[in-house]
Amino acid sequence: MPSQSAAEQRKGLLSLHGAVLLFGGTALFSQLIELTALDITIIRCFIAVATFIALFQFRNERVRLNNWRDYLIALALGVLMATHWATYFAGMQYAGVAIGVIAFYTYPLMTVLIEPLLHRQLPHITDALMGLVGLAGLWLIAGNSGTTQNSEVIAGILTGVFSALLFTARNLLYKYQFSHYSGTQAMFYQTLIGGLALVAFLSDDWQQASGKDWTFLILLGVVFTALSHSLYTTSLRYLKAKTVGLISCMQPLYSTSLAVLILADVPTWRTLLGGALVLSAAAYETLYGHKQSKS
């Protein structure tokens, strides 16, 4: 029995690291695909939908939801997820991979500040302090004002933070209203509804997309969306939530490292130091939040 438990834990860790590595690699497509963030998001959604349908057929899984209320919740989740993806990619197209990912990674701080309000409670003072640490990190990344490059950095930070807010709202809605469905089932409806909600805004540029762009789009939809979320869901079966949360904090490290290796996008010292502040606050909140839930 102990060997089976060790094998399950190993499977969970491998699945989680694979998922987080793929999540980190997703950031690269904002630079590799020569389309707008919105076009990338819409096409990504529909490719992921086709992949999920094939997955459901292979697993013989149920696709229908239980009632109409759940379909309305799925509608909200889909709009939130698709808008989050579009703004996430836009932030990186403005300011680069490292800054865009770090700005997005304020979402753990937003979660611990917003979630208590749902229970009519005030956030803990420590959570508020960690929020200030995160803001200090973003301020450091923003650097000196007045230059064209810096205006793009600020636009990237603001867009990334807005993406984090959308992601926080999506996560909380899923946790409290939709978590009785599997992660794969939830992602299917989110990508389907997100694609349908945004398809009217698809530009004509996709018709001129190169073969390279389509290769990257298929990789993004199949491997970096459908497969990554399936691996992540698998890891949740075998690992503690604290372990999942802490390892997930490695996503910006993976994104930045891959951007340096593949795109030669080297972050400045201000970005590295500011990112360290943001990620330290996020990692602390992951640990602290779970301690609170146990007490």
- In the structure, what pLDDT confidence band is assigned to residue 166 with cuts at 50, 70 and 90? very high
Q: Is residue 2 part of a domain?
A: no
Q: What is the residue type of 250?
A: M
Cβ within 8 Å of residue 175, ≥6 positions away: none
Q: What is the residue type of 203?
A: S
* pLDDT score of 272 more than 70: yes
Q: Is residue 6 part of a domain?
A: no
**pLDDT at position 288, please?**
67
pLDDT tens readout for residues 48-61: 999 999 999 988 88
* pLDDT score of 111 more than 50: yes
User: Which stretch of 93-97, 157-161, 186-190, 232-236 has the lowest confidence by average pLDDT?
Assistant: 232-236
Q: How many domains in the chain?
A: 1
**pLDDT at position 147, please?**
55
Location of structure tokens 């993806």: 85
Please state the pTM of the whole predicted model. 0.87
Q: Alpha-carbon distance 159 to 230, whole Å?
A: 27
Please state, as a whole number, how many other Cβ atoms lie within 10 Å of the Cβ of residue 251.
23
- In the structure, what pLDDT confidence band is assigned to residue 290 with cuts at 50, 70 and 90? very low
**pLDDT at position 237, please?**
77
* pLDDT score of 138 more than 50: yes
pLDDT tens readout for residues 222-260: 999 999 988 887 787 788 766 777 788 888 989 999 999
- Which domain covers residue 141, as residue numbers? 12-294
**pLDDT at position 144, please?**
52
Which of helix, strand or coil describes residue 64?
A: coil
pLDDT tens readout for residues 8-25: 888 888 988 999 999 999
Q: Is residue 208 part of a domain?
A: yes
Count of helix runs (H) and strand runs (E) in the chain: 14, 0
For residues 31 and 240, which has the higher predicted lDDT (pLDDT)? Answer: 31
Q: Is residue 192 part of a domain?
A: yes
Torsion of CA 231, 75, 120, 113, to 10 degrees: 50
| Mean pLDDT of the 77-88 span | 96
Q: Is residue 186 part of a domain?
A: yes
| Mean pLDDT of the 174-201 span | 92
User: Which stretch of 46-55, 61-70, 112-121, 203-212 has the lowest confidence by average pLDDT?
Assistant: 112-121
Q: Which two tokens stand for residue 232?
A: 């992540």
Q: Is residue 218 part of a domain?
A: yes
Task: Share the mean pLDDT of the chain.
Answer: 88
User: Which stretch of 43-47, 96-100, 230-234, 256-260 has the lowest confidence by average pLDDT?
Assistant: 230-234
Please state, as a whole number, how many other Cβ atoms lie within 10 Å of the Cβ of residue 132.
12
Cβ within 8 Å of residue 124, ≥6 positions away: 112, 116, 292
**pLDDT at position 2, please?**
45
- In the structure, what pLDDT confidence band is assigned to residue 85 with cuts at 50, 70 and 90? very high
* pLDDT score of 286 more than 80: no
Torsion angles phi and psi, residue 7, rounded to 5: -65, -40
